[in-house]
Amino acid sequence: MQRTQRLVFLVLLIGWTIFRLVRYLRVADSKRPKVAAPGPLPQPPAPTTPATAQSPVEPVGRSGSGRAGLLAAAAILVAGSALIWAVLFAVPAFDDVPAIWRLTAGVLASLFLIRAARIAVARTGSGARQSKGDDRNPIK
């Protein structure tokens, strides 16, 4: 009986997840602007050469690709993940803790690592920053 009950709850959980996902997709699709008139779409303008075109959103003077920030973020994620998972599954003190709790703790700790990696990218200056007075948004 216990196996049947678990199977039923698993099916219900999967069904509920699919229902919520479809609902979120419908809500997201309903907030998108609709095409005003049916018919052929206007042709996009001809592309400009990348050497002369400058991004209207990117601040002036930022030509680097921000590799230092990305490398710092990758180092934080890789080293932190290796340390977290090694501590959770290689230290004998945690052998009595069920695996599901150790897995959950590892995933939640990884979320903190992602936050730390974002902070590292922002501190190195490779993240996309704009001042409040910088009005280079072409969509506005």
Interval 40-98: pLDDT, tens: 666 767 666 555 555 555 555 454 557 788 888 899 999 999 999 999 999 999 899 99
Q: Which residue has the higher pLDDT, 2 or 126?
A: 2
Count of alpha carbons within 13 angstroms of residue 131, beta-carbon side:
4
Residue with tokens 């997201």: 28
Q: Using CA atoms of 52, 50, 126, 58 in order, give the dihedral in degrees to the nearest 10.
A: 60
Distance between first and last Cα of the chain: 61
Q: What is the pLDDT of residues 87-137, one digit of tens each?
A: 999 999 989 999 999 999 999 999 999 999 888 888 887 545 555 556 666
Contact 59, 137 (CB under 8 A): no
85 vs 13, 20, 34, 101, CA distance in Å?
28, 31, 47, 12
